[in-house]
Amino acid sequence: MASRTARKDFIIAATMKQNSVFRETVTVNLDEGLHLVPCSKIVKVAQGFEGDVRILKGDLAVDAKDIFELPTLVATYGTTLVLEATGEGADEVIEQLVRLFESNFEAEESSDS
């Protein structure tokens, strides 16, 4: 009986972990806005994660794994975006994406976008 309860608890915990949603709010600090190179970097990070990763701007939500969707955010300098991931490891992928934004995409090309 005890082992069955433990197994049930394990399944519930695992299910919760899979369904966990993590969100963080970030601001675009690139003078040129979120153009193709930073979009590519986002896709690269997001594609390394099995669950869903979305980026929201107001009511608009795009798949962070799709390079053709990200530019449709038209995220200019100063735009506030919400990063959202679901699934196991969601916290880690959000952390990596936040780091990208905070490092200004590793201070990528400041003037030659």
Partner 1 sequence: MKLSDFVVPEAIMPSVKAESKEGAVRAMVDSLKNCDSIQPDHVDGIIAAILKREELGSTGIGHGVAVPHTKHPSVDRLIATVALAKQGVDFASLDGEAVYVLFLLVSPPDRPGDHLRALETISRHLRNQNFCNFLKQATTQKEVLELLQEADNNQLD
Chain contacts with partner 1 (rule: CB under 8 A) = 31-37, 40-41, 43-44, 67-77, 108-109, 112-113
Cβ distance to partner 1 smaller for residue 95 or 108:
108
Distance of CA 80 to the CA centre of its chain: 14
Cβ atoms 101, 24 nearer than 8 A = no
Q: 28 is written with which tokens?
A: 């675009």
Cβ distance to partner 1 smaller for residue 33 or 87:
33
**Shortest distance (Å) from residue 106 CB to partner 1:** 11
**Shortest distance (Å) from residue 75 CB to partner 1:** 7
Using CA atoms, how far residue 108 sits from 57, 67, 71, 102, in Å, is 23, 18, 17, 12
Cβ distance to partner 1 smaller for residue 59 or 112:
112
